[in-house]
Each structure stands twice: as C-alpha cells, then as structure tokens.
C-alpha cells in the first residue's frame, strides 16, 4: 500500500470539527469524499494528527493516507482539491514511510489563538473581539504559570477517569501585531477545549478580572472558572504539527485570514 503525508489548511466555521460524523458535515468527511472521488477508491486509510472542534481552523493540519495504488503526489493533490469546497485546501502531499502515522508519530503541536482589540467587518470568523482594555504584560505574567507538566482537568470536558488529563506545556508565547494579540500554545498534545480555556483565563488576567498568579491554583484545584471563560472557537487555529527532525523555532505571526487587523491600530 502506498502511503502519503498530507498538509491541509481549512477554515472550520462551517464544519462540526475535524472528526467524521454520521449526521454532520466535518473536515475529515469532506476530505474522504474528495479522496474517493479523486482516486475512485473507497478502500483507503485516512487519519489526521489531531481533532479540531467545531468552528476551529487549521493552518497546517497533517494527515496520512494509505492507498492501494501509487499516484504522483502533485497530481493527487490537484485532483483532491478539485473536489473540495473552497474552505478546505490540501497544501502539499509527499510520499511517506509505510509506518508513518500522522497522530502517533507527532512529537509536539502548536495552537494559535487570535484576540482582536477592535471590531472588524471581515475577520469575525477568525478572531475573538474583546471590548475591554487588555494588558498584555498581565497576560504574559499569567502565561508563565502554565509552563511544565500539569493536570488540566479543570481546563477540559474530558473525563480524567477515561483518559489522562496530564499535558506537558512547552511554550505559551504572547505577541502583539497591530490590533491583534496573538497567543501561541505549544505542547506534547492537547485535550478537549483546553487551549480555548487557557486563552479565556489569559484574557481574564489581561482585563484585570483575575490575578496573574492565579493560574497555578487553577491547575491544582477543581475550579469552574476556566469553563466559564472558555474563549470562542473562532479565534483558534491548529498552527503546526511537529515530527522528529522538524524545525521548531518559528516566528509568531497572525493567520493570513486577518491581515487588515494586523496592520491597523484603529480603535473601536
């Protein structure tokens, strides 16, 4: 069986997340349909590096595809894209080792969350507009509390009795680009709603409603606060999936969907 590694970008606004579902439109479902139409086969293996929730986007999702036939990668990419809706795009396809598994082989992932300081006529599906004044220094102080291995059960709806809620956070970086506040969270893996709740807590600290040193307490106590301040899905992007040997030091920049906000400094 021929194996391929796909790099995919998508706007998740119109979809019920990545994972294929029987009665909902999903990213995986659309891709599998397009692959079947492009190859005229249904006996293939297709799996992504991770699941994104409804409304969440991806800049570089990775998936593997196992096919019973060998197809030139660029020809395959073009044929798949010809059968995809406008908001899903295969950026690249390359041959992969027979044992390559998009999820199991991943060593780290980064997510990007975009907070807008102003209202936008164009970017609503890709940002969270926060109307209050936001202190980025306070956000950075709060972000320091997330570094390291922690139990994120209060930051997820996953049941810790069913799966581990321990996650190693390697990076929480916050930058400003025009009217955008960019939050990058990097770690070993992520659990359901975790990054959105981290973003919500950081914004609470930035708005002065939460002390920056409160994060360590939220990580060791059962608290309903992270759930109450869950950030909207619109601002969240799966930024990168990393594998052994990949360059990990990447610049933190806004997603291409909102360049007008990143360039401006207008107030509401």
Residue-wise pLDDT tens for the chain (268 aa)? 799 999 999 999 999 999 999 899 999 999 999 999 999 998 999 999 999 999 999 999 999 999 998 999 999 999 999 999 999 999 999 999 999 999 999 999 999 999 999 998 888 999 999 999 999 999 999 999 999 999 999 898 877 767 788 999 999 999 999 899 999 999 999 988 999 999 999 999 999 999 999 999 999 888 889 999 999 999 999 999 999 999 988 899 998 655 555 555 544 4
pLDDT of residue 262: 55
The answer to whether 161 is a known catalytic residue is: no
Give every CB contact of residue 194 below 8 A, 6+ residues apart in sequence.
152, 155, 156, 167
* Residue extent(s) of CATH 3.30.70.580 domains in the chain: 2-95
pLDDT of residue 257: 52
Question: Which position among 43, 53, 213, 222 bears the catalytic label?
Answer: 53
* Residue extent(s) of CATH 3.30.70.660 domains in the chain: 108-263
pLDDT of residue 137: 98
Tell me which of 3.40.50.300, 3.30.1490.20, 3.30.70.660, 3.30.470.20 is the CATH number of domain 108-263: 3.30.70.660
Query: Which CATH architecture best describes the domain 2-95?
Result: 2-Layer Sandwich (3.30)
DSSP per residue, 191-205: -TTHHHHHHHHHHHH
253-257's contacts with Cβ under 8 Å and 24+ in sequence apart are 253/177, 253/182, 254/114, 254/177, 254/178, 254/180, 254/182, 255/57, 255/59, 255/112, 255/114, 255/126, 257/11, 257/57, 257/123, 257/125, 257/126
The residues that bridge with 48 in the sheet, in sequence order, are 63
Whole-number Å distance between alpha carbons of 233 and 172: 18
């Amino acid at each position: 069986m021929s194996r391929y590694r796909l790099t995919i970008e998508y706007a998740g606004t119109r979809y019920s997340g990545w994972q294929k579902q029987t009665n909902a439109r999903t990213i995986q479902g659309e891709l599998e349909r397009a692959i079947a139409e492009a190859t005229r086969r249904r006996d293939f293996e297709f799996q992504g590096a991770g699941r994104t929730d409804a409304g969440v986007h991806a800049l570089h999702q990775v998936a593997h595809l196992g096919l019973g036939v060998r197809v030139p990668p660029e020809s395959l990419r073009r044929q798949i894209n010809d059968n995809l809706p406008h908001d899903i795009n295969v950026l690249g396809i390359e041959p992969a080792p027979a044992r390559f598994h998009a999820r199991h082989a991943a060593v780290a992932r980064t997510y990007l969350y975009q907070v807008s300081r102003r209202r936008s006529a164009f970017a609503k599906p890709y940002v969270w507009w926060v109307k209050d004044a936001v202190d980025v220094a306070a956000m950075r102080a709060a972000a320091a509390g997330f570094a390291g291995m922690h139990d994120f059960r209060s930051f997820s709806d996953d049941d810790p009795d069913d799966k581990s809620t321990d996650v190693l956070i390697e990076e929480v970086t916050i930058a400003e680009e025009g009217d955008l506040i960019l939050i990058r969270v990097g770690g070993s893996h992520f659990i359901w709603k975790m990054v959105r709740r981290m973003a919500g807590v950081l914004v609470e600290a930035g708005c002065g409603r939460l002390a920056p040193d409160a994060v360590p307490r939220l990580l060791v106590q059962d608290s309903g606060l992270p759930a109450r301040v869950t950030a909207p899905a619109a601002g969240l992007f799966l930024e990168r999936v990393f594998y052994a040997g990949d360059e990990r030091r990447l610049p933190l920049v806004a997603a291409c969907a909102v360049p007008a906000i990143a360039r401006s400094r207008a107030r509401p």
